[in-house]
Amino acid sequence: MGILVKNLNKKFGDFTAVDDVSFEVEQGKLVALLGPSGSGKSTILRIIAGLEEPDSGAVYLTGEDATALPTQRRNVGFVFQHYALFKHMTVAKNIAFGLEVQKRPQNEIKNRVEELLDLVQLKGYENHYPSQLSGGQRQRVALARALAPKPKVLLLDEPFGALDAKVRQNLAGWLRQLHREVQVTSIFVTHDQEEAIEISDRIVVLNRGRVEQIGRPEEIYDKPLTKFVASFIGHANVIEAIVQDGKVLAGKDRIELPVSHALSESGEAVVLVRPEDIVIAKDASASELSASIVGIRYRGDVYELTLQMSEVTLHAVEEKLRYQQQNWGIGDRVQLHFNKFKFFYAEEGHDAIRERLHSLGYIE
């Protein structure tokens, strides 16, 4: 067993940062803690490292209870978003720090530093100072420094958050590869769902200090258990609706959505549909939903279509080939079909949900 976290709780004043969180990371796996800011993900990471003390709960590292151990004796590698390199030390000295602290023999230190410089592809930079490196290079130094003393677990706190998009993508892919080589049990914290899906073995989705769902990336994406997960993972169309007489009616014009649930309760509801789950066909027969194309954006590999269905705006994507076959144009009337969707009662009311989704940046 790699890491086990049991019933962690942590409050800062009145604010509950971590609320009864438990999860397990198998030996050698890479797990993402995914959630919006304030969801408690960084606090959990800091508790595992011993940099923060939980109010209650336990942390086990490779089977041993580490809850009472000081950071120095937990044998964890930690990488911060802003690198936290030792500015006054060269790259080589930074990487060697953990080994110097352990007073390892000089030739062993030298060999290990060279090994790591090789691993993070920074050969030739050993005598540079951090200020002479790019962001991506700095983060690789930070990673090498964390890995040098062969930690039991590796903890990464938004490791690519300070880098620009291109570098971030390269580095994320590279980390995935590196992890396959090194096989150290790792947790990384991120608010970027694409990053989490791309590089982790499993994802723990957090919201307001609680675990919403744990699973493989595919499970999280395809079978979200809660509406938070559904809306947070991937881009989703959020359709506000009401349930009346077992029918789901969207918008002011009460368009009946083809949501085939046996719904007995009336009330406010939300339907979430991913853009790729909207199938568009020509010839709007009256049978299903009809909409008109009001916007087309070329996105490289796909076309993104903006659809207007009464006053409800939806986003859909079409593959390039299909788009060209259909020869879509602005103003075309089309017929919609939802391949997959998620239905939730909006217990808190539409306003509360809209506010929440807005705060997460999913809707304008």
Partner 1 sequence: MGPDSVEVQVHPGQRRPPWGKRLLMTGTLGWFGILVLFPVAALLVEGLGSGPQAFINGLKGEAAAKAFNLTLWTTLLAVVINTLMGLLLAILLVRHKFPGKTLFDGIVDLPFAVSPVVTGFMFIVLFGPQGFLGRWFEAGGMKIVFAVPGIVLVTLFVTLPFVTREVVPVLREMGREPEEVAYTLGASKWLTFWKVTLPTIRWGLIYGVTLTIARALGEFGAVLVVSGNIIKRTQTATLHIHQEFTDFNYQGAFSASIVLGGISFVLLLLTELWKRKQKHK
Q: Which residues bind partner 1 (CB under 8 A)?
A: 49-51, 70-78, 80, 82, 84-89, 97-98, 101-102, 129, 142, 145-146, 149, 151
> How wide is the angle at C-alpha 160 spanned by C-alphas 128 and 173, nearest 5°?
95
Query: Collapsing DSSP states into helix, strand and coil, what is residue 150?
Result: coil
Q: How many CB atoms lie within 10 A of CB 300?
A: 6
- DSSP letter for each residue of 285-296: -SSSEEEEEEEE
Shortest Å distance, C-beta 175 to partner 1: 18
Cα separation, 202 vs 205, whole angstroms: 10
Residues 6+ apart with CB under 8 A from 28: 2, 183, 184, 185
Shortest distance, CB of residue 51 to partner 1, whole angstroms?
Answer: 5
Q: CB 156 → partner 1: shortest distance, Å?
A: 12
CB of 327 to partner 1, least distance (A): 46
Closest distance between partner 1 and the C-beta of residue 13, in Å? 12
Give the three-state DSSP class for 314: strand
Q: What residue type is assigned to position 165 of the chain? A: A
Closer residue to partner 1, CB minimum distance, 97 or 323 = 97
Between 86 and 298, CB nearer to partner 1: 86
Give 15 or 298: the residue with its C-beta nearer to partner 1: 15
Q: State the Cα torsion 311-316-321-322 to the nearest 10°.
A: -60
Given the complex with partner 1, which of 151 and 217 has the nearer CB atom? Answer: 151
In angstroms, the CA 63 to CA 131 distance is 40
Residues 318 and 336: their CA atoms lie apart, in Å, by 13
> Residue 106 or residue 244: which is nearer to partner 1 going by CB?
106
Q: How far is the CB of 134 from partner 1 (least distance, A)?
A: 19
Tokens of 285: 């027969």
Q: What's the CA gap between 310 and 153, in Å, rounded? A: 53
Q: Which long-range contacts (CB under 8 A, 24 or more apart) does 87-90 make?
A: 87/129, 87/130, 87/131, 88/129, 89/129, 89/130, 90/126, 90/127, 90/128, 90/129
CA 329 to chain centre: 35
For residue 149 the two structure tokens come to 């003393």
Helix (H, G, I), strand (E, B) or coil at 229: helix
> Residue 185 or 213: which CB sits closer to partner 1?
185
User: Closer CB to partner 1, residue 52 or residue 192?
Assistant: 52
Q: Min. distance of Cβ 149 from partner 1 in angstroms?
A: 6
Measured from the CB atom, the residue of 89 and 249 that comes closer to partner 1 is 89
In the complex, minimum distance from the CB of residue 183 to partner 1, in angstroms, rounded to a whole number: 20
Number of residues written out for the chain: 364
Given the complex with partner 1, which of 35 and 151 has the nearer CB atom?
151
| DSSP SS3 for 301 | coil
CB of 209 to partner 1, least distance (A): 22
Chain position carrying tokens 């899906």: 197
Would you say 90 or 290 has its CB closer to partner 1?
Answer: 90
CB 1 to partner 1: min, Å: 21
